[in-house]
Amino acid sequence: MRIRDLEPRQRRAFFGAWLGYLLDGFDFVLITLVLTEVADEFDLNLATAATLVSAAFVSRWFGGLALGAIGDRFGRKPAMLGSILLFSLGSLLCGISWDYWSLFVFRALVGLGMAGEYGSSTTYVMESWPKDLRNRASGWLLSAYPVGTILAAQAYAVIVPRTSWRWLFVLGLAPALLALVLRRTLTEADEWVANKPAEPATSSSKLLTGPRGPLNAVVAVVVAVCLVLVFSGHAGPWYPLLDAVAIAGFVTFAVQLTGRNWPVAIGLMAVVFCAFLTSWPIQALLPTYLKDDLGFDTGAVATALTWAGLGYAVGSVLAGSLGDRFGTRTVYVCGLLGAAVLVTPVFALTGDEVILLWILLFCLQATSQGVSGLLPKFIGDHYPVQTRAAGLGFTYNVGALGGAVAPLAGARISENLGLGTALAVLAGSLAVITALLVAFDVPRRLGRTTILELQKTETPERQHQ
């Protein structure tokens, strides 16, 4: 099937989800733009300020699980709209935060909504489009996120020098208005409607309302406390134990979601974790690097981030189109290896080589961030419809904890190597590691057998992609 053959309702489904994800990107990256301003106001060093970026990742795993479960039980559309309202509220509260901990908590609220938006919107679009166009649906949808980051960068250049960083977060309330419009104009995803459960035998019954619901709630609270202590820097000598407890909790949920195929879910989490460690040191700390190391003013930072965002968007669109033609894994691996080659030249430049920096940032983000537009398709193929939203949302957002580790690792390594070198080392080495995990199909190897649903619905050639 061709793109031009899509029905009007399928086009509306994509555009509605695309707008929601654009505004998600806008809200989510605001903290990276104002990190130096927040650090100055609350008297924080770079390592402590970086934990505010990590705060949203600490809560994402639960947002992906809970809102995904709602999407599996009640429909993709209500889960998507609920997530938009949630991250809008979190952004508004960030604007009125009064100290480090209040901002940390409100950023965690943004993370809850962001995770739910990712899982529900990607599942919604893919299940609204034909199967042979789903790489494009995945990649094209994720192109909205960098467009949101571009708008955030431009808003930063206009608003912060004239007022305060707080007004930038208040502007993040705008997505709530979009949710009201989408509620009236969008229909439910076709595949979910066709497979709508007659009874709640979905991820929501397994995890939230079933006999294990109270125990799962306790496990979720314990995991959340462990993650807050670890990523806020208050774990003391208990880091290894808290990490082990959190991992055990994630495995518990993975087993309940996927049954005997839980090793596949763990493998997917490892791939996503490394993917975030590849891209998020740059995503989180590039504005700080441009301001502190290269001496850029707010306008120059906005311009550089605009070029980076355009590269991300173009890369997502190209990755989706090429993925349908050459295979998901092939395109993903090639993009990661390209990023590994480009990252060192980017951070070897000085502030005088502005145009070359723009070009290289465009190419770097096209390959590293842009190719990640294939991840929803890659992950979603491993889950049946009944648990796909929760499975994709949970797997992706547990792995996304790599994004919480990334700014902390970058800040720590920069104490000895400098920020630019630290970002290059982290992004370059992890790009190679992620490429190897995908190239050798580690999730499938861990599972030892392919997912039965994939065998029923895909050709052998497509399965291997």
Structural tokens at position 272? 């996503």
Give me the pLDDT at residue 115, please.
Answer: 75
pLDDT the model gives residue 364: 92
pLDDT at 456: 47
CATH number, domain with residue 452: 1.20.1250.20
For residue 211, pLDDT over 90 is answered with no
Higher pLDDT, 205 or 207: 207
Q: What percent of the chain has pLDDT over 70?
A: 88
Tokens, residue 107 = 């950023």
What average pLDDT score do residues 137-147 get? 80
Residue 94: predicted pLDDT: 92
Mean pLDDT of 189-218: 68
Mean pLDDT value across residues 327-350: 90
- How much is the average pLDDT of 42-66? 83
281 pLDDT exceeds 60?
yes
pLDDT of residue 465: 47
Question: If pLDDT is split at 50, 70 and 90, which confidence band does 247 have?
Answer: very high
Q: Which of 127-131, 320-324, 347-351 has the lowest mean pLDDT?
A: 127-131
Q: What is the pLDDT of residue 1?
A: 59
Q: Percent of the chain, pLDDT > 90? A: 16
The string of DSSP codes covering 425-456 is HHHHHHHHHHHHHHHTTHHHHHHSS--HHHHH
Between CA 333 and CA 343, with CA 339 as vertex, the angle to 5 degrees is 155
Q: What are the distances in angstroms from CA 65 to CA 60, 79, 196, 217, 250?
A: 8, 11, 19, 12, 11
What pLDDT, on the 0 to 100 scale, is given for residue 388? 67
Q: pLDDT per residue over 421-460, tens digit each?
A: 899 999 999 999 999 998 888 887 887 654 444 444 444 4
Structure token pair of residue 376? 């929803």
Q: How many domains does the chain have?
A: 1
The better pLDDT of the pair 454, 411 is held by 411
pLDDT of the residue at 336: 93
Looking at residue 104, what is its pLDDT?
92
At residue 312's C-alpha, the angle toward residues 310 and 315, to 5°, is 105
pLDDT reported for residue 265: 85
**Cα–Cα distance for residue pair 379/396, rounded to 1 Å:** 8
pLDDT at position 389, please? 64
Q: Which of 15-24, 143-152, 375-384 is the most confident on average?
A: 143-152
Q: Looking at the predicted structure, is the pLDDT value of residue 379 above 60?
A: yes
Predicted local confidence at residue 461, as pLDDT: 44
**76 against 107, higher pLDDT:** 107
User: Average of pLDDT values for 240-247?
Assistant: 92
Higher-confidence residue: 374 or 361? 361
Q: Which of 49-58, 70-79, 291-300, 331-340 has the highest mean pLDDT?
A: 331-340
> Of residues 349 and 241, which shows the higher confidence score?
241
Name the average pLDDT for the chain: 81
8 Å CB contact between 302 and 126: no
Task: Please report, in angstroms and rounded to a whole number, the separation of the first and last CA atoms in the chain.
Answer: 19
| Type of residue found at 231 | F
| Predicted confidence band of residue 208 (pLDDT cuts 50, 70, 90) | low
Q: What is the pTM of this model?
A: 0.76
Q: What is the pLDDT of residue 449?
A: 52
pLDDT at 199: 53
**Rounded CA Rg of the chain:** 20
- With a CB cutoff of 8 Å and minimum separation 6, the contacts of 328 are 135, 374, 377, 378, 465
Domain that holds residue 182: 3-464
